[in-house]
Amino acid sequence: MKKCSVLLGGFVILFLSLISIGVVYASHTSTSQYGYSTKEWKIGDIYDVGGVKGIVLALSSDKQHGLLLSLVETCDDWDDAEAWCRSLGRYWTLPTKMDLEKLHLAFDKINERLEMAGCETVKNDLYWSRECSGDYDAYAVEVTKYYSQARCYNKYNSNCYVRAVRNF
């Protein structure tokens, strides 16, 4: 019996030593050591994990993954809008029409949180989607608090607002 308690005592000392030097984490963090989220997110939360910053626009059923909307926006033609999204970093892209519909559905919550964070709010205006209609036209979605409506515009002669999206 004494041999067992000596082994257990040695294990406890080893475990506490590992905690103190940071090999074993004893506290809960929002990301695991592999960079995956362990937090349950809500729509409108500001996401800032592993150098990726955005606002949560949509969630998976486990509320640990979803879709981010960029905290910044620009206004440009479709080609430059695509390039701007890529300039934000890996995996940022133009949103789909469905993504912009989600933005309409969460319009007030998203704008409230953007304003609280000191970021530019989403406008009641046209935002480019990634969907195209032929070689020269792409869909822009009029996103407002009250409705959203997709229309085709010339990719090269029309300027619309742009918010990038990416999965997390």
Total structural domains within the chain: 1
Task: Say what the pLDDT of residue 6 is.
Answer: 45
pLDDT, tens digit, 9 for 90 and up, residues 93-110? 999 999 999 999 999 999
28's tokens: 């809960």
Reported as type and span, the H/E element at residue 3 is helix 2-20
Q: Within a domain: residue 48?
A: no
Predicted TM-score (pTM) of this structure = 0.77
Going by C-alpha positions, the residue among 164, 137, 161 that lies closest to residue 151 is 137
Which amino acid does the sequence have at 80? D
What CATH number is given to the structural domain containing 147?
3.10.100
Task: Say what the pLDDT of residue 15 is.
Answer: 42
What stretches in the chain show pLDDT beneath 50? 2-34
Q: Within a domain: residue 136?
A: yes
Q: Within a domain: residue 1?
A: no
25's tokens: 């984490």
Q: Within a domain: residue 51?
A: no
Q: Within a domain: residue 64?
A: no
Domain that holds residue 161: 72-167
Q: Within a domain: residue 93?
A: yes
Q: Within a domain: residue 131?
A: yes
Are 153 and 136 within 8 A, CB to CB? no
Which three-class secondary structure state does DSSP give residue 89?
A: coil
CA 19 to the chain's CA centroid:
32
Which three-class secondary structure state does DSSP give residue 54?
A: strand
Which amino acid does the sequence have at 37? S
